Copies of this chain bind each other. A is one copy, B any other.
Amino acid sequence: MYNISQLQDLINKAIAEKSYPNNPIELYEPIRYIMALGGKRMRPALLLIACDLFEGSIMKALQPAIGIEVFHNFTLVHDDIMDKAPLRRGNPTVHEKWNDCIAILSGDVMHVQAYQLMMQVDDSILREVLNVFSETATGVCEGQQIDMNFESLQEVNINEYLEMIRLKTAVLLAGSMKIGAIIGNAQPEHAEAIYKFGENLGLAFQLQDDILDIYGDPEKFGKQVGGDIIANKKTFLLIKAIELAEDLDKEELTYWLNEENAKPEVKVNAVSEIYNRLGVRQLAEHQMNTFAEKALSALEKIPANADKKNALRVFAEQLLIREN
């Protein structure tokens, strides 16, 4: 059994050791750059954990795990162009440090590299692993598109929102774990159970992210507190607030959503207060806990080493009480 920080070290070492062609440097330097920016390496770690849960060799799962991280970073590079984001993990985004063209093209090469890394599995499971990976990749793109669509929609209901975050965030965690399980030679129904675990964990994780935007510790939370509110981003909190607000709350919320010249801190404070009055944080936490419980109940169905299952449970719980 491995603890998370051991796995993260293993992943970071493999990422640092990965070599890239030197030419054209404009294509490969951004890949080295974004991969070196760090992050929690949550997706590859979950892939390795899932493999280990079924007593598979984590060394055999390492290159596909790096493939998942390369894929995830590719989506970040392209998403950052679309979102016109200046910063990623406190550093300039690829399209800011270089330009949009280089960010598009480096991302495209990372996408190919992700497949090449994912192919480093035994022949007997190659097709299955790649099928899961392709379906996962498609889901992530669909989720990003739906998220972009939300920006121009007047109304989004909670079910649409949950489907969006399932695609954009949860299927990648789920797919990572399923791939790990397949490499670990899991039975199909157990690979499916770990997929459900990852999917529900991902949903819970994203709701936690929505909550942290406002209620996170600004010292520990890596992003601007209230960034979602400033951008009128349709999060669980805002969608629920729009659904529940009546009378004065409704009027005030509508005002802030349409006030383009609001001072950021003033808007964040005002909208947070509406959220507090409506109790949307509690609703989000309740929904998050529902997903977390579903995740744990999927885990229960897997006949694996009790200590390993427990470690995974602890890891999931830590993810959901994180402050960053």
B104 near A149 (CB under 8 angstroms)?
A: no
A303 at the interface (CB under 8 A from B): no
A141 to B101, CA, bound (A): 11
Stretch from A105-113, A187-195, A282-290 that touches the partner: A105-113
A130 at the interface (CB under 8 A from B): yes
Number of copies: 2
A78 near B108 (CB under 8 angstroms)?
A: yes
Chain A interface residue count: which class? 35 or more
A151 to B227, CA, bound (A): 38
Stretch from A115-123, A172-180, A204-212 that touches the partner: A115-123
Q: What are the residues of chain B within 8 A of A6 when measuring CB–CB? A: none
User: How many whole Å from A72's CB to the nearest CB in chain B?
Assistant: 13
Q: What are the residues of chain B within 8 A of A113 when measuring CB–CB? A: 138
A27 near B111 (CB under 8 angstroms)?
A: no
B108 near A141 (CB under 8 angstroms)?
A: yes
User: How many whole Å from A273's CB to the nearest CB in chain B?
Assistant: 33
Q: What are the residues of chain B within 8 A of A105 when measuring CB–CB? A: 78, 82, 141, 144-145, 148
In A117-164, the 8 Å CB interface with B consists of 119, 123, 126-127, 130-131, 134, 137-138, 141-142, 144-146, 148-149
24 contacting pairs across A/B (C-beta < 8 A): A21-B142, A24-B145, A26-B149, A27-B141, A27-B145, A78-B108, A81-B100, A82-B105, A100-B100, A101-B148, A104-B104, A105-B148, A107-B108, A108-B137, A108-B141, A109-B138, A109-B141, A113-B138, A115-B134, A119-B127, A119-B130, A119-B134, A123-B127, A126-B126
A residues whose Cβ falls under 8 Å from a Cβ of B = 21, 23-24, 26-27, 78, 81-82, 100-102, 104-105, 107-109, 111-113, 115-116, 119, 123, 126-127, 130-131, 134, 137-138, 141-142, 144-146, 148-149
